[in-house]
Amino acid sequence: MTHIRIRNFGLGDEWSQLEEDQSRQKLLKKYQVKVIDFLSLGYKERYLINKKRLNFAEAQGCQDFTVLVKQRVVNFLLAAYTSFDNAGVWRESTPMSEPERFWNYGPLAYYKYKLLLL
């Protein structure tokens, strides 16, 4: 069974206590736990998305958002996808290029089933 540890920087940025715990580090190594860093989206963007009750796909196309807000959402999603890909724990059933995956199928469509596993 593959184990994944996610450091969600959206919830906190202080991980040293967990990183310095030697018994925890031994367990992570023993069970070959993959670590994913999930970066934080900016406060303004999170506030706007939550206020309008949007998902990330809707936020990218929201006419009320500036180009800068939309671009920050896109960059956040691309960073999240890169973190998932770098963990190397999921296999694609049909390989797609980055532009094809992101633009043709929507940013969340590709990882929809993967996010449910987390």
Per-residue confidence in pLDDT tens, the chain, 118 aa:
778 888 888 777 777 888 888 998 898 899 888 888 888 888 889 899 999 999 888 888 889 999 999 888 888 888 888 887 777 766 655 555 555 555 444 444 444 434 433 3
Task: Please tell me the distance from the alpha carbon of residue 14 to that of residue 66, in angstroms, as a whole number.
Answer: 31
The amino acid at residue 12 is G
CB 57 within 8 A of CB 29: no
Closest CA to 44 of 79, 71, 8: 71
Tokens of 54: 């949007």
Count of domains observed in the chain = 1
Structural domain including 90 reads 4-117
- The amino acid at residue 7 is R
97: Cα within 13 Å, side-chain hemisphere:
4
Answer yes or no: are the C-beta atoms of 3 and 33 closer than 8 Å.
Answer: yes
What's this model's pTM, rounded to 2 decimal places? 0.62
CA–CA dist 36, 4 (Å, integer): 7
- Residues in Cβ contact with 54 at an 8 Å cutoff, skipping those fewer than 6 apart: 62
Q: What is the CA radius of gyration of the chain?
A: 16
